[in-house]
């Protein structure tokens, strides 16, 4: 397959997009630099024995620190608590050997809030009140380690360990969060956020969720979750559309039963200038759902525009579907379902081993994905699928929940693309461990394609077609 028209225009567009993405992100001000007092929680009556409920004493210490723009200090100990309301201009510091433990009684926490409008989202997504550490409308706050926060749950239930809504200048650094039955770190409508060196262990829901947030940096985190590890959303939880933009996730190690790095599915607002780089993802099987894992999922299905996204330096092992890019028209929160847009995506330097499913880039008939480039992609798939898949039709399913695990088997073993305009494939290495009759790449209703350097295992039936073009126009 040779070059077609539009390749030069595509390369020029990506150079412009890369320049925009290279702009430096703003970094939140160092909250610790404004601290003027240290308030020891034990001096306010906290027992720290893991049995007494310390909620009242801990809240007293937080309020005292707020009056002095100071630090709330947790010395070594186990502090059992219900909801704690954070204040502006404080640092909450958990020292080595200290653990803040969520009470096992849900009645010790603020109940989930009722917003008074339809958010078109589940309680986990829309609520920021049912939490251990709760903050709303705050400025200049920090939660720092090296201590630990224990959600104390053994199922998907209970409060969020950290839930911040419409806060600004937020720093979460060096803490460990374990046994979260709800989103471990939940950010809604927050700006100027720096999350670094956080460890999340044994999470039952999403690890880090950033919804309608701007200027966010997540670096050096280790997340182990049964749902998405790090997910960015643009829901209607605020009662209005708000973008998620200027977000960088880098240097993170993610272990997940679902998706490692994800945009959506809630996608009513826009996603702009998102960077995922230098991360590793390990997939795990669900005991009763089987293989659901996705590596990187970029989805817009509720009318939002997803644009200027860069994914690079991602290493994956045992992830079912390494790459899933989906434009759809689910239309959550829309009176009339309309399609947004998905454009200007660059994915490079990805290595995935043990993939049992097919990476997919799928737009909508009449509403294609525009300008997407894959470069230096190496996928080692399991292969061994039946020959019937070669001629199988893939349903449009543009109103379906956008998840790679629900797409079923596809008629290519490495990459399936449909409804895409200005596609660049450069230096792809696609192989299978077991003979497979499917081609490595199948392009279905794709226009303006540039392919350079495709290396792949030939189909098992003796064919030599590494890439197949099924249609040429919309």
Q: Where are the domains of the chain?
A: 7-469
- Backbone phi, psi, residue 356, to 5°: -100, -15
DSSP character string of 138-183: -EEEEEE-SSEEE---SSS-S-EEEEEES-EEEEEES-EEE--SS-
Provide the 10 A C-beta neighbour count for residue 393: 8
Closest among 128, 139, 137 to 163, alpha carbons compared? 128
Bond before 62 cis per omega within 30 degrees: no
Residue 142: CA atoms inside 13 Å, Cβ hemisphere, count?
A: 27
Per-residue pLDDT of the chain (474 residues; tens, 9 = 90+): 443 334 433 333 333 344 343 333 333 343 444 446 999 999 999 999 999 999 999 999 999 999 999 999 999 999 999 999 999 999 999 999 999 999 999 999 999 998 989 999 999 999 999 999 999 999 999 999 999 999 999 999 999 999 999 999 999 999 999 999 999 999 999 999 999 999 999 999 999 999 999 999 999 999 999 999 999 999 999 999 999 999 999 999 999 999 999 999 999 999 999 999 999 999 987 665 666 689 999 999 999 999 999 999 999 999 999 999 999 999 888 888 889 999 999 999 999 999 999 999 999 999 999 999 999 999 999 988 888 888 788 888 888 888 877 777 899 999 999 999 999 999 999 999 999 999 999 999 999 999 999 999 888 876 656 777 776 444
pLDDT at 303: 95
Residue with token string 């933009």: 245
pLDDT at 470: 72
SS3 readout for 279-294: EEEEECCECCCECCCE
Residue with token string 């039709």: 393
Q: Give Rg (Cα) of the chain.
A: 23
E-strand stretches of 337-440: 341-355, 359-362, 369-383, 415-434
Decide: residue 240, CB within 10 A, 0-12 exposed, 13-18 middle, 19+ buried.
exposed
Q: Enter the DSSP assignment of 365.
A: T
Q: Contact 232/304 with Cβ under 8 angstroms? A: no
pLDDT at 123: 93
Find all residues with CB under 8 Å of 321, minimum gap 6, and list them. 293, 294, 295, 355, 357, 358, 359, 360, 404, 405, 407
Fold for 7-469, please state it.
Pectate Lyase C-like (2.160.20)
How far, in Å, are 67, 185, 316, 344, 345 from residue 270 at the CA level?
38, 21, 27, 13, 14
């Amino acid at each position: 397959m040779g070059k077609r028209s539009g390749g030069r225009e595509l390369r020029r567009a990506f150079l412009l997009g890369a320049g925009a993405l290279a702009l430096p992100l703003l970094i939140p001000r160092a909250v610790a630099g404004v601290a003027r007092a240290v308030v020891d929680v034990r001096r306010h009556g906290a027992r720290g024995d893991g049995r007494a409920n310390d909620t009242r004493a801990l809240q007293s210490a937080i309020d005292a620190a707020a009056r002095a723009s100071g630090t709330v200090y947790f010395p070594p100990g186990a502090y059992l608590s219900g909801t704690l309301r954070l204040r502006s201009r404080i640092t909450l510091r958990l020292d080595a050997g200290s653990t803040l433990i969520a009470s096992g009684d849900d009645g010790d926490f603020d109940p989930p809030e009722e917003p008074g409008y339809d958010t078109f989202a589940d309680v986990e997504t829309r609520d920021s009140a049912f939490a251990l550490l709760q903050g709303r409308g705050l400025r200049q706050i920090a939660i720092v380690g090296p201590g630990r926060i224990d959600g104390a749950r053994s199922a998907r239930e209970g409060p969020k360990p950290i839930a911040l809504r419409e806060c600004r200048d937020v720093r979460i650094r060096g803490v460990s969060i374990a046994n979260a039955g709800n989103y471990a770190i939940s950010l809604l409508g927050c700006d100027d956020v720096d999350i670094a060196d956080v460890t999340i262990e044994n999470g039952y829901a999403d690890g880090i969720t950033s919804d309608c947030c701007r200027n966010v940096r997540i670096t050096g985190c280790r997340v182990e979750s049964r749902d998405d590890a790090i997910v960015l959303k643009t829901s209607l939880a605020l009662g209005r559309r708000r973008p998620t933009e200027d977000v960088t996730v880098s240097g993170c190690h993610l272990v997940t039963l679902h998706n490692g790095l994800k945009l959506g599915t809630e996608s009513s607002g826009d996603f702009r200038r998102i960077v995922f780089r230098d991360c590793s993802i390990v997939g795990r099987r669900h005991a009763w759902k089987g293989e659901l894992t996705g590596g990187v999922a970029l989805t817009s299905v509720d009318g939002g525009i997803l644009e200027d996204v860069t994914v690079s330096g991602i290493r994956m092992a045992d992830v079912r579907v390494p790459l899933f890019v989906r434009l759809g028209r689910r239309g959550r929160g829309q009176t009339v379902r309309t399609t947004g847009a998905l454009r200007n995506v660059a994915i490079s330097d990805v290595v995935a081993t043990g993939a049992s499913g097919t990476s997919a880039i799928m737009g909508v008939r009449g509403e294609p994905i525009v300008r997407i480039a894959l470069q230096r992609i190496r996928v080692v798939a399991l292969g061994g699928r039946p020959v019937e898949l070669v001629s199988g039709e893939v349903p449009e399913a543009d109103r379906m929940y956008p998840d790679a695990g629900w797409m079923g088997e596809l008629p290519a073993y490495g990459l399936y693309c449909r409804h895409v305009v200005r596609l660049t494939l450069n230096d792809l290495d696609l192989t299978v461990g077991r003979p497979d009759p499917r081609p490595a790449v199948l392009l279905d209703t794709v226009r303006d394609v540039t392919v350079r350097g495709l290396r792949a295992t030939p189909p098992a039936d003796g064919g030599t077609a590494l890439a197949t073009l099924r249609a040429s126009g919309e």
